[in-house]
Amino acid sequence: MTMAERALRGTRLGATSYENDRNTDLAPRQEVDYTCTKGHRFTVTLAAEAEVPMTWECRNCGATALRVDGELPQAKKGKPPRTHWDMLMERRTVEDLEEVLAERLEILRAGRRRTA
């Protein structure tokens, strides 16, 4: 085994860059502090021109963390979920439903009379 083969053993090609950061200009960055409800505090590095979110997922426990200098975002008002009854009432009136019920009950009663 040659020395070159021993040097590459244990590394995956493309997995690690062997270049260094000398003589390169990094993009401007900002660090934002977050604190979760369980008290974990951590810092996230973002691009300087990036819009900073008010919440971030905690790295330790997965809970929602709030920006240290921020306030909770306002909850969005959502529509209440539509039930089957709501959707039915969009298509039919109560009178229509009573008529359909009466027809079905008559069919059921007629079937019982035949079997009895």
Ordered per-residue pLDDT tens for the chain, 116 residues: 555 555 556 666 666 776 776 777 778 999 999 999 888 999 999 999 989 888 889 988 888 888 988 766 677 788 889 999 999 999 999 999 999 999 999 999 988 877 76
What values do phi and psi take at 111, rounded to 5? -70, -35
2 is in an annotated binding site: no
9 is in an annotated binding site: no
CB 34 within 8 Å of CB 41: yes
What is the Cβ-side half-sphere exposure of residue 42, based on CA atoms within 13 angstroms? 17
84 is in an annotated binding site: no
What contacts 24+ positions apart, CB below 8 Å, involve 80-83? none
**pLDDT score, position 31:** 92
Placement of tokens 């709501």 in the chain? 86
Structure tokens that stand for 38 in this block: 């369980």
Q: Which class for 35: exposed (0-12), middle (13-18), buried (19 or more C-beta within 10 A)? A: middle
**Whether this model's pTM surpasses 0.85:** no
Q: Rounded to whole angstroms, how far apart are CA atoms 57 and 46? A: 15
36 is in an annotated binding site: yes
